[in-house]
Amino acid sequence: MSVIVANGLTHWFGNEHALDSVDLVVDTGEHVAVLGENGAGKTTLLRILATAMRPTSGRLEIAGLDAHRERRRLRHYLGYTGHALGLYPALSAAENLEFFCELQGTPRSRIDEVLEAVGLAATAKRRAAQLSRLILDEPDASLGSDAAELLARVMDGRTVVLATHDRALANRLCPRTLELRHGRSVGTATRLRVVK
């Protein structure tokens, strides 16, 4: 069952072409890695998938709903971690978690569960608790050496789209990859095939 259907996603920043007709279909429970160099359009694509941004043109449906019109509803189920941490440095990790739980509608009891499940890396996983679909933009950037195990545990059982430079990590975690170059998708591959 397809939970994310993206069609012809195109995005312009002024006169600069960030994404050029990208198509993507993700089924429930699938883990997809988006690969590409800096500037290839990974962050733009992920932000669009997370409903943080609207594409200049193209169509996106999540769980059968139009991603823009129903974005408030969809945000119940979407989790996104981006480049900037979006946290409050003046507040403790627990306070940050409590705050976002309040906004997300997650019961506080889940905070302890989450902290236990991921050890000290709670800051990067603040909303993983209740969310079934995750969009992760270079999550390994702020994690330590056991990033892969951590991510695998978080990703288990959920639909995940992940962006990274690290092809080895991507291959380990995600059976499917989508490669972007200059905003265009240059192919999808299965695990173990290294795409240049």
Partner 1 sequence: MNKYEKAAAGAVALMLVAGAAIFFFAPTDYLQGPVQRIFYLHVSSAIAAYGCFAVVLVGGIIYLRTESPVADRFARAGALVGLVFTTVTLVMGMLWAKPIWGTFWTWDARLTSTLVLWMIYAGYLLVRRLSDPGRQSARLAAVVGIFGFIDVPVVHFSVTWWRTQHPGPIIVNDALPPQMLATFLFTLACTLVLAAVLIGIRYRIETALDARLNVSEPAKVIAAKREAEPAR
Partner 2 sequence: MNPFNVAVAVARKDLRSEWRTREMVPALAQFIILALLIANFGFQIDSHNAPSIAPGILWLALVFAGLVAFGRTFAAERDQASLEAMLLTPASPVAIFAGKAIAASLLLIVCEAVMLPALSLFFGTPLGADMVAAVLLATVGMAALGCLFAALVARVRARELLLPLLTLPLWIPFIIAGGQAVQSAMGLPGSYPEAIGLLIDFDILFVVLTSLAARFVLDE
Taking only Cα atoms into account, the Rg of the chain, rounded to an integer number of angstroms, comes to 16
Nearest approach, Cβ of residue 90 and partner 2 (Å): 4
Choosing from 16, 69, 84, 109, the residue that interacts with partner 2 (CB under 8 A) is 84
Give how many residues touch partner 2 by CB under 8 A: 30
Shortest distance, position 71 Cβ to partner 2, whole Å: 8
Could you tell me if 56 and 10 are in contact, meaning their C-beta atoms sit under 8 angstroms apart? Answer: yes
Under rule CB under 8 A, residue 5 binds partner 2? no
Least separation in angstroms between residue 56's CB and partner 1 is 5
Count helices and strands in the chain by DSSP H and E runs: 6, 10
The pattern of x and - marking residues 137 through 176 that bind partner 1 according to CB under 8 A reads --------------------------------------xx
Interacting residue with partner 1 among 13, 65, 94, 156 (CB under 8 A) = 13
Q: Report in angstroms how near the CB of residue 127 gets to partner 2 at its nearest.
A: 8
Nearer to partner 1, 104 or 188 (CB): 188
Distances (CA, A) of 143 to 118, 127, 138, 175: 11, 16, 10, 22
Closer residue to partner 1, CB minimum distance, 130 or 188: 188
Q: Is 132 exposed, middle or buried (0-12, 13-18, 19+ CB in 10 A)?
A: middle
CA distances from 3 to 42, 113, 134, 151, 176 (A): 20, 27, 12, 21, 15
